[in-house]
């Protein structure tokens, strides 16, 4: 399971293989018949639900989704749909103000925390989705069709039986923004049915949704804590290191001495392999950066032309970010700035969290609007409107401050 395929999914497969020995008892074993026959049948069922939702008025479809998610929660605790301290009312007012002043309806983006991952608390994912769908409708103040960004691959849904995985994948793949990071695990028919949800297409789907002034919901951490630390904190830190390399675009460097982008994936993979080797997964699960990562990171930095002090500084910043359940996601906010806000579309951000560690409390935090983005694409300058007025911050600074203030 999760064997290399020689394609983009190999990076996540590497993480999945490292995690498998520690979660083997929890993961449901799925037969060839389940993958080849049961899943595709229920994927078709999920796709039929998509068609029904598109045909229905937006508020009717949203109402059915609420009832569906409430039924999935079942006998588990539910939390009342509420406007935490008036945050949604302020989001609505903020959106109306921006639209009135700029003539552009802002895109709405609900950013969610990820609940702890175990069978007893699995329902909290659904409960957060239910709250976010309701909250965006309240903040928008008119009918809308919020899109959920959610993984629907075998790794993400390994706690669900085949029929549930199939139905969920079918429903999420097109009506929402479901994505499949390991499509090679699906049967041939399943891959065809859900081909629109391939991981390489996600950036374009997200951009089109937000650039068109739509509504979107996503877990900011990108997954469970171990996946967030490896796939986003570590991998994106390596990408940041590469992007700012002294050898990336120095005019006098030529031939093999010039760093080229095609090497980035090899560096990322090397860092991830070092992280999960020699019992590293246990360290990662505990929020500790494995020593092997420090060594490899130093080697990568040296090959990219960084000095010892610069390498040490980057490692210290990685050590600070790595224990977090929600990484800073600088790359995502840079994407928002360059691909959405620069197009002229403001983005209203609404955080939805689970409260303090050890205490479950679904609550909305204060909304903000990214109104404009200017300057270099590597670190754009954002104009951000919030409760206390308008401020300007570079995207790297903004993402770090925002995540530290709103998420664990």
357 and 251 share one domain: no
State the SS3 of the chain. Answer: CCCCCCCCCHHHHHHHHHHHHHHCCCCCCCCHHHHHHHHHHHHHHHHHHHHHHHHCCHHHHHHHHHHHHHHHHCCCCCCCCCCHHHHHHHHHHHHHHHHHHHCCCCEEEEEECCCCCCHHHCHHHHHHHHHHHHHHHHHHCCCCCCEEEEECCCCCCCCCCHHHHHHHHHHHHHCCEEEECCHHHCCHHHHHHCHHHEHHHHHHHHHHHHHCCCEEEEECCCCCHHHHHHHHHHHHHHHHHHHCCCCCCCCCCCHHHCCCHHHHHHHHHHHHHHHHCCCHHHHHHCCCCCHHHHHHHHHHHHHCCCCHHHHHHHHHHHHHHCCCCCCCCHHHHHHHHHHHHHHCCCEEEEEEECCCCCCCCCEECCCEEEEEEECCCCCCEEEEEECCEEEEEEHHHHHHHHHHHHCC
What's the rounded Cα separation, in Å, for the pair 146 and 216? Answer: 5
pLDDT of residue 244: 84
123 and 145 share one domain: yes
Total residues found in the chain within this entry = 408
174 and 315 share one domain: no
160 and 189 share one domain: yes
Q: Looking at the domain assignment, is residue 184 inside a domain? A: yes
What's the rounded Cα separation, in Å, for the pair 135 and 141? Answer: 10
375 and 241 share one domain: no
Q: Please report, in tens digits, the pLDDT of each residue of the chain (408 residues total).
A: 666 666 667 777 788 788 777 766 667 778 888 888 998 999 999 999 999 999 999 999 999 999 988 888 888 888 889 998 899 999 999 999 999 998 999 999 999 998 876 667 778 888 999 999 999 999 999 999 999 998 888 777 777 888 888 898 898 988 999 998 887 777 778 788 888 888 889 999 999 999 999 999 999 998 888 889 999 999 999 988 888 888 765 433 434 444 445 677 788 888 999 999 888 989 999 999 999 999 999 999 998 889 999 999 999 999 999 999 999 999 999 999 999 999 999 999 999 998 765 677 899 999 999 999 999 999 999 999 998 889 999 999 999 999 999 997
108 and 183 share one domain: yes
24 and 115 share one domain: yes
216 and 182 share one domain: yes
pLDDT of residue 248: 65
pLDDT of residue 9: 74
pLDDT of residue 340: 98
Among the candidates 321, 349, 364, a domain finishes at: 321
Q: Looking at the domain assignment, is residue 48 inside a domain? A: yes
257 and 142 share one domain: no
211 and 131 share one domain: yes
Among the candidates 303, 321, 339, a domain finishes at: 321
The count of domains in the chain is 2
Q: Looking at the domain assignment, is residue 150 inside a domain? A: yes
- Pick from 201, 157, 142, 156: nearest CA to 177: 201
173 and 316 share one domain: no
Q: Looking at the domain assignment, is residue 2 inside a domain? A: no
Q: What domain range is 166 assigned to?
A: 11-77+84-221+327-406
Q: Looking at the domain assignment, is residue 1 inside a domain? A: no
247 and 212 share one domain: no
Among the candidates 321, 354, 386, a domain finishes at: 321
Ramachandran sector of residue 166 (left: φ over 0; alpha: ψ -120 to 50; beta: rest): alpha
What's the rounded Cα separation, in Å, for the pair 382 and 398? Answer: 8
Q: Looking at the domain assignment, is residue 231 inside a domain? A: yes
Q: Looking at the domain assignment, is residue 28 inside a domain? A: yes
What's the rounded Cα separation, in Å, for the pair 81 and 77? Answer: 13
pLDDT of residue 260: 47
Q: Looking at the domain assignment, is residue 6 inside a domain? A: no
């Amino acid at each position: 399971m999760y064997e290399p395929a020689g394609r983009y999914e190999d990076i996540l497969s590497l993480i999945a293989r490292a995690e498998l020995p520690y979660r083997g008892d929890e993961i449901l074993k799925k037969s060839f018949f389940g993958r080849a026959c049961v899943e595709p049948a229920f994927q078709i069922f999920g796709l039929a639900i998509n068609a029904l939702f598109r045909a229905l008025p937006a508020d009717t479809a949203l109402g059915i989704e609420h009832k569906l998610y409430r039924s999935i929660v079942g006998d588990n605790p539910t939390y009342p749909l509420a406007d935490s301290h008036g945050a949604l009312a302020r989001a609505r007012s903020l959106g109306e103000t921006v639209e009135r002043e700029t003539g552009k309806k802002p895109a709405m983006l609900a950013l969610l925390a990820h609940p702890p991952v175990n069978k007893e608390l699995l329902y909290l994912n659904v409960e957060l989705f239910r709250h976010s769908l309701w909250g965006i409708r309240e903040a928008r103040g008119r009918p809308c069709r919020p899109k959920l960004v959610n993984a629907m691959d075998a790794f993400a849904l390994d706690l669900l039986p085949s029929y549930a995985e199939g139905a969920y994948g079918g429903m999420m793949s097109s009506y929402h923004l479901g994505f499949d990071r390991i499509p090679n695990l699906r049967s041939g028919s399943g891959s065809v049915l859900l081909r629109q949800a391939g991981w390489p297409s996600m950036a374009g789907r997200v951009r089109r949704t937000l650039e068109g002034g739509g509504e979107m919901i996503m877990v900011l951490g990108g997954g469970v804590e171990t996946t967030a630390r490896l796939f986003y904190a570590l991998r994106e830190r390596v990408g940041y290191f590469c992007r700012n390399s002294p050898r990336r675009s120095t005019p006098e460097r030529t031939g093999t001495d010039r760093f080229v982008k095609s090497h980035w994936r090899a560096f990322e993979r090397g860092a991830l392999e070092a992280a999960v080797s020699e019992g590293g997964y246990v360290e990662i699960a505990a929020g500790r950066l494995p020593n092997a990562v420090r060594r490899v990171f130093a080697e990568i930095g040296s090959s990219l032309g960084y000095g010892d002090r610069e390498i040490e500084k980057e490692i210290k910043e990685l050590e600070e970010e790595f224990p977090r359940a929600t990484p800073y996601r600088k790359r995502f906010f840079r994407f928002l700035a360059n691909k959405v806000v620069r197009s002229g579309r403001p983005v209203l951000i609404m955080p939805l969290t689970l409260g303090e560690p050890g205490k479950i409390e679904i609550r909305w935090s204060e909304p903000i609007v990214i109104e404009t983005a200017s300057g270099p694409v590597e670190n754009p300058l954002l104009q951000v409107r919030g409760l206390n007025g308008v401020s300007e911050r570079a995207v790297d600074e903004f993402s770090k401050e925002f995540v530290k203030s709103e998420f664990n």
